[in-house]
């Protein structure tokens, strides 16, 4: 599920700059449950609520524990990239969004398009999850019923 995003910066910008536009960055106390944090790569700020990768010191190396930590954070990063891939796979229009942005109104249309795709993506995940639970219940019922036939 996509729980936070920042839209509206046209063109190519750095991830850390885009992150500043998110609700989590602007108000982490009200955006994250107590005692929770987010994982991020080293481009993001190191905060109490934002755990980032360790950077190799100039002329030095990371400890074994720091490398292990970075490995775990990298695995989470891969899962985030998979969400983007799934979103673009589900909504092909996002692969090469061909909307010409020459006015503010065009930018708003582009933003609404992307937001709609993310909302639909979350709805699909929610509905598929509910269907999966129903199928498991149905399968368990069929197994119980089938045992009586033996």
Q: Is the dihedral of CA 45, 49, 53, 58 positive or negative?
A: positive
Position 106 scores a pLDDT of: 83
Predicted confidence (pLDDT) at residue 150 exceeds the cutoff of 60 = no
Give the 3-state secondary structure percentages of the chain, helix then strand then coil, rounded to 5.
60, 5, 35
86-97 tens-digit pLDDT: 899 999 888 877
Instruction: Quick: pLDDT tens for 59-93.
Output: 999 999 999 999 988 888 888 889 889 899 999 88
Structure confidence by residue, pLDDT tens digits, 20-59:
878 888 888 888 888 888 887 777 888 888 888 888 989 9
Are 46 and 58 a contacting pair, CB within 8 Å? Answer: no
Q: What is the pLDDT of residue 137?
A: 65
């Amino acid at each position: 599920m996509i729980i936070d995003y920042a839209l509206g910066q046209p063109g190519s910008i750095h991830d850390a700059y885009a992150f500043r536009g998110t609700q989590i960055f602007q108000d982490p106390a009200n955006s994250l449950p107590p005692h929770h944090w987010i994982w991020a790569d080293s481009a993001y700020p190191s905060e109490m609520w934002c755990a980032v990768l360790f950077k190799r010191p100039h002329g030095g190396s990371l400890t074994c524990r720091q490398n292990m930590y970075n490995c775990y954070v990298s695995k989470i990063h891969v899962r985030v990239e998979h969400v983007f891939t799934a979103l673009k796979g589900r909504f092909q229009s996002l692969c090469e969004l061909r909307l010409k942005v020459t006015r503010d109104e065009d930018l708003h249309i582009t933003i609404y398009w992307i937001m709609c795709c993310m909302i639909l993506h979350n709805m699909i995940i929610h509905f598929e999850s509910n269907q999966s639970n129903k199928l498991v219940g149905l399968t368990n019922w069929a197994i119980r019923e089938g045992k009586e036939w033996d």
